[in-house]
Amino acid sequence: MTKSIRTFAAIAALLVSIACNNKEQSSATSPSTSETTVAQSNMTPEQLGELGAAIKKSPDNAQKLLADHGLTEESFEQAIRKVSEDPAASKRYADAYKKAGA
């Protein structure tokens, strides 16, 4: 199970990276909301980024870290997918993930 969380964290980082690159390449005329939060978990992209970094640093403690935030592996995945849909939220996630040292 820990290996699957580690794999998911890597996939999430990749999705965020792709979303950030897509934002830089697009010429969207309407501003995207930067206050997007993840409805299911009520965690901000920054909080999810910090949690993702913590899971990457201590994959053996992944289940405990998720539980401490009221998440399961599945709800964490859904929250990350929701963040990856919004380029601004993806950038906020990626910045927090990097800042947390992952």
In tens, the pLDDT along 24-75 reads 444 444 444 333 333 345 899 999 999 999 999 999 999 999 999 999 999 9
Which band of pLDDT confidence, cut at 50, 70 and 90, is reported for residue 89?
very high
Helix (H, G, I), strand (E, B) or coil at 102: coil
Number of domains in the chain: 1
Rounded mean pLDDT, 16-31: 48
Judge contact between 36 and 89, C-beta under 8 A.
yes
- What is the pLDDT confidence band of residue 5, given thresholds at 50, 70 and 90? low
Residue 86 lies in a domain: yes
Q: What angle do CA 60, 64, 67 make, to 5 degrees?
A: 145
- Residue 6: half-sphere exposure toward Cβ, Cα within 13 Å: 9
In a domain, 40, yes or no: no
Assess if residue 30 is contained within a domain: no
Query: pLDDT: is 53 or 5 the higher one?
Result: 53
Q: Tell me if 79 is assigned to some domain.
A: yes
Is 54 part of a structural domain of the chain?
A: yes
Q: How deeply is 89 buried, as exposed, middle or buried, from its count of CB atoms within 10 A (0-12, 13-18, 19+)?
A: buried
Per-residue pLDDT, 42: 85
